[in-house]
Amino acid sequence: METNIALHKYCVRIADTSLILAQRMCEWCGHGPVLEEDIAMSNMGLDLIGQSRGFYSYAAKLEGKGRTEDDIAYFRNEREFLNRCIVEQPNTDFAYTMMRSFLHGCLSYLQFRTLVNSKDDTIAGLSEKALKEMTYHVRHASEWIIRLGDGTDVSHDKVKDALENLWQFTDELFEMDDVDQSLIKSGIACDLSLLRAEWDQMINEVFAKAKLERPVGGYQSKGGFNGTHTEHLGHLLSEMQYLPRAYPDAIW
C-alpha cells in the first residue's frame, strides 16, 4: 500500500475515534451528576476534539485535495467514519460513560505512548501531546471505576452492567489490517497486538480494586475501523453534523 494513502487512513481512524468520543463526552454538558464531573467531561471532550483536529489537519494535508479538518469531520457519512465502535456507544449513565472511557482510554494511552517514537514527526508530535492528556483521562476514569465498583450495591451493579455490555467492543480496539501492517514496517504506526498484555494488566489491576470480574468469551463486534458501525453512530452524526450541513457557509 502506498505510504501516503495508508498514513491518511491511519490518521483518520485515530481522529474519528477521538472526535466521536468527544461528541459523546460533550453530550454530558449541563447533565453531569455534579458540577465538577460535568466540567471534567467537557474538559476531556475538549482535549479529544483537539487531538482529532491535529490528526484531521494532517490527514487533509496528506490527501492534498484542499479539504480542511472541518470538511473531513462534518461532510462524511457513517460508513465513511473509521472510529472504533466502543466510542459511539451511548452515554447511558455515568458508570457506562466511565467504563467506555476507561476501556478505550487505556488502549489510547498505550498507543500514543508508542507513537511518541513514530518515525513520522507529525504523528510523534501529536502523540506526545495526546499522551499527557490521556494519562489524565485514564486516571480520572479508573478512579471512578474503583469508586463505583467498590461502592454501593447499586453503583456496583451499574458499573458491572456497563462492563458486560461494553466488553463486546474490546477486541476491536486491537483490530489491524494492511494499513497498519504497511506502516508498522516503516516504523510509523504502532503494533497494537504488542499492547494487549499491558492493556490486560492495566484493566485487571483496576478491576481487582473495583471488585469487578472480567468477562470471559462472548460475542465480539468488529469492523468500525473500516466503516461498519452500530446503529448509534448515525444518530450521533445527525446531531453533530446538523449545523454545517444545514448552513455550509457558516463561520464563527
- Please report, as ranges, the residues that interact with other proteins according to CB under 8 A: 36-37, 39-40, 43-44, 46-51, 53-54, 105-106, 109, 121-122, 124-126, 128-140, 142-143, 202, 205-206
Nearer to other proteins, 126 or 166 (CB): 126
47 Cα distance to chain centroid: 12
Q: Smallest distance from the beta carbon of 40 to other proteins, in angstroms?
A: 4
Q: How far apart are alpha carbons 206 and 224 in whole angstroms?
A: 26
Nearer to other proteins, 1 or 39 (CB): 39
Nearer to other proteins, 78 or 99 (CB): 99
Cα distances from 157 to residues 39, 114, 145, 166, in angstroms, run 25, 35, 12, 14
Report the half-sphere exposure of 68 (CA within 13 A, side-chain side): 2
Cβ pair 69, 53 in contact under 8 A: yes
Nearer to other proteins, 135 or 165 (CB): 135
Q: Smallest distance from the beta carbon of 109 to other proteins, in angstroms?
A: 6
Q: Smallest distance from the beta carbon of 13 to other proteins, in angstroms?
A: 17
CA torsion 17-19-25-28 (nearest 10°) is: -140
Nearer to other proteins, 31 or 139 (CB): 139
Q: How far apart are alpha carbons 66 and 131 in whole angstroms?
A: 29
DSSP notation for 38-94: HHHHHHHHHHHHHHHHHHHHHHHHHHTSS--HHHHHHS--GGG----GGGGS---SH
Nearer to other proteins, 111 or 168 (CB): 111
Cα distances from 68 to residues 61, 77, 78, 165, 234, in angstroms, run 8, 16, 19, 36, 22
User: Nearest Cα to 134, choosing from 35, 244, 50, 229?
Assistant: 50
Q: Length of the chain in residues, anyone?
A: 252
Q: Smallest distance from the beta carbon of 206 to other proteins, in angstroms?
A: 7
Nearer to other proteins, 58 or 96 (CB): 58
Q: Smallest distance from the beta carbon of 149 to other proteins, in angstroms?
A: 15
Q: Smallest distance from the beta carbon of 36 to other proteins, in angstroms?
A: 4
Q: Smallest distance from the beta carbon of 96 to other proteins, in angstroms?
A: 19
